[in-house]
Amino acid sequence: MKKIGIFASGTGSNAFKIIKHFERNDNVEFVVLSNNKDAGVLEKAASLGIPHYSFLKKEFSNGTVLSFLQENDVELIILAGFLLLVSEDIIDHYPNKVINIHPALLPKYGGKGMYGINVHRAVVENKEAISGITIHYCNHEYDEGQFILQATTQLDATDTPEQVAAKVLKLEHFYYPRVIENILAE
């Protein structure tokens, strides 16, 4: 049995694409964690009977969240719209077992504050012809871990940040569950 901890700060659209991808796999279980007690991802997890936990920012850095992960036998951590830098104790305890998806082709448009519409706005402002996703391992810095996969989408000169976001989200929903499946099979 593989236990995956999914961290999300918002609605969790990627989280639930991942959960749906594994719904017929009896060898995978999930626990959902959020730093936002009002996050839609927690409500949806509850409605599906998935264990869930919200935590304060200080609990993320004082070892409480790491203890929770260990007590729940979490083996792999997936970030799905999670906006905090993962604490050093978690990164150190889970080397190459904390995975993030970024809505751009890193190293461009990465780092603190570069998430969601902020990324897509920058892509449009710079008149990029392509955008995409980067799935990567996490380290002690924002968006600097080893790449696992990058996938691209063509952009039109008239695309708005919202249109870029929609194109990128399709890539996220397609590739992220499959990359996780491959990692679990290793």
Eight-class DSSP state of 115: -
How many CB atoms within 10 Å of residue 181? 14
CB contact at 8 A, 39 and 11: yes
How many CB atoms within 10 Å of residue 41? 28
Identity of residue 157: A
CA–CA dist 186, 182 (Å, integer) = 7
Cβ contacts of residue 158 below 8 Å, gap of 6+? none
Q: Which among 78, 84, 71 has a CA at the least distance from the CA of 21?
A: 78
CA–CA dist 64, 67 (Å, integer) = 5
Instruction: Say whether 120 is catalytic.
Output: no
Token code pair at residue 9: 């700060």
Q: What is the end-to-end Cα distance of the chain in Å, rounded?
A: 14
Q: Determine which one of 21, 93, 102, 120 is catalytic.
A: 102
Q: Which residues are catalytic?
A: 102
